[in-house]
Amino acid sequence: MVVNTIKSPVRDDTLDHPLHTSKNKTEHPPVVLLKHHGRLANQLFTFGHLIAHSTETGAYIFNPAFHRYGKYFLGSCRDPLCRFPQKVGRLISYFPMSAHDWLRHQITSLAKRMPNVFSVVKSGREIISLEELTDTYASNHFLAFIGDNYHSSHHNDCAVQAIRNYLQPIEYHQTKINALFEELRADSDLIIGVHIRQGDFRDFAGGTFLRSPQDFANVIEDVIALFTQHHVRFLICSDESVDHELFKQFDYRTGTGHLVEDLYSLAATDYLIGSPGSTFSKWASFYGETPLYCVDDTTHRPSINDFQTALSRDY
């Protein structure tokens, strides 16, 4: 059995991004994302689309809606407006959520009262093309976005690298991830991540995407059979306490329990077993280029070909 190259969780610590070389860069208006309804991984994918759009068109991005998570990432940790290309706040690098929410509310109110400067765009269930939308506005007109269904078609290699550079964890969290992987790889040659999402999935979409811990234990047994020539260790991360009695038969370790550290630890594994419908699983797969198998059908026994890497443009 051939497996993908063993990876290191350490990412590029530079924030260089492709220069804005688009011939039409002056024709695309700046984008301000004022409100996002999703949690961490949903926001990461949306920010990824905004970054891809910027690297291709030269449009400046302001994403104050990302402030809740911005402190965890190298590109945004010192900028309360979470701008791309990266900027560092001159007066203050970060301030409390209450103050930030007040400021964002003021900007939103201002945008609604100044139609000659701002165009407020709300996304619903339909996906909105950033390129098609921005082509209709002048470069000195701000687009104020509310929602999360904004997609860019420009996810080329340069854009993807810019996304990974900007949205890599700050050193504090990366150091903890590195320490975890030193332990995981000490006597194992293959690390397989397992993301068990419970919590909100009990009610979301009528529980359609909820899979029990036992379902994941069954898949782990099947996956072990795919890698009999390897010493496999599992990294299990969940939004609820892991049932150690259920998984005691396996060689496994749990994550640190921190949202960002768990997400990027899963990204650094060699293969990933994920929860269906979860952007958390899919971001880990995209960021780490990690082949992912989602437990869609609990009766299916996965093969190696069932593991596929998620792409930033698809979510």
217: helix, coil or strand? Answer: helix
Domain annotation covers residue 14: no
Tell me the per-residue pLDDT of 269-311, one tens digit each, with 9 for 90 and over: 999 999 988 999 999 999 999 999 999 899 999 999 999 999 9
Domain annotation covers residue 6: no
- Confidence class of residue 133 from pLDDT cuts 50, 70 and 90? confident
Pick the closest to residue 222 from 192, 196, 254, 257 (CA basis).
Answer: 192
Residue 137 or 193, more confident: 193
**CA separation for the pair 80, 70 (Å, rounded):** 8
Query: Does 45 share its domain with 122?
Result: yes
Domain annotation covers residue 9: no
Query: Does 181 share its domain with 152?
Result: no
Whether 228 and 186 have beta carbons less than 8 Å apart is answered as: no
Handedness of CA 151, 39, 309, 304 (dihedral sign): negative
- Confidence class of residue 5 from pLDDT cuts 50, 70 and 90? very low
| Alpha-carbon separation of residue 247 from 151, 213, 292 (angstroms) | 39, 9, 20
Task: Pull the structure tokens for residue 120.
Answer: 């407020």
Structural domain boundaries enclosing 179: 171-314
Whether 275 and 201 have beta carbons less than 8 Å apart is answered as: yes
Query: Does 48 share its domain with 108?
Result: yes
Task: Pull the structure tokens for residue 54.
Answer: 């910027």
Strands of 252-254's sheet in order across: 252-254, 232-238, 190-196, 271-274, 292-294
Number of domains in the chain: 2
Domain annotation covers residue 20: no
173 pLDDT above the threshold of 90 = yes
Residue with tokens 């208006």: 29
Whether 28 and 57 have beta carbons less than 8 Å apart is answered as: yes
Residue 140 or 67, more confident: 67
Tell me the pTM.
0.87
Domain annotation covers residue 15: no
CA 204 to the chain's CA centroid: 20
Domain annotation covers residue 105: yes
* Helical residues (DSSP H) of the chain, grouped into ranges: 40-57, 67-70, 97-113, 130-134, 157-166, 171-184, 213-224, 244-247, 259-267, 279-288
Residue 30 or 207, more confident: 30
**CA separation for the pair 294, 274 (Å, rounded):** 5
CA torsion, ordered 130, 134, 136, 141, to nearest 10 deg = 150
CA torsion, ordered 62, 63, 65, 67, to nearest 10 deg = -110
Mean of the per-residue pLDDT values for the chain?
86
Tell me the per-residue pLDDT of 82-122, one tens digit each, with 9 for 90 and over: 999 998 765 555 667 666 677 777 777 777 888 878 888 88
pLDDT value at position 295?
94
Last residue of a domain, one of 131, 166, 201: 166
Tell me the per-residue pLDDT of 205-241, one tens digit each, with 9 for 90 and over: 676 667 888 999 999 999 999 999 999 999 999 988 8
Domain annotation covers residue 12: no
- Confidence class of residue 177 from pLDDT cuts 50, 70 and 90? very high
CA atoms lying within 13 Å on the CB side of residue 93: 11
Handedness of CA 39, 79, 18, 146 (dihedral sign): positive
pLDDT value at position 10?
47
Query: Does 136 share its domain with 182?
Result: no
295: helix, coil or strand? Answer: coil
Q: 128-129 and 118-122 as β-strands: parallel, antiparallel, unpaired? A: unpaired
CATH of the domain at 250: 3.40.50.11350
Angle between helices 259-267 and 171-184 (to 10 degrees): 50
Please calculate the CA angle 120-41-60 and round it to the nearest 5 degrees. 40
26 pLDDT above the threshold of 60 = no
Tell me the per-residue pLDDT of 52-66, one tens digit each, with 9 for 90 and over: 999 999 999 999 999
Domain annotation covers residue 4: no
Query: Does 203 share its domain with 255?
Result: yes
**CA separation for the pair 14, 168 (Å, rounded):** 10
**CA separation for the pair 201, 219 (Å, rounded):** 19
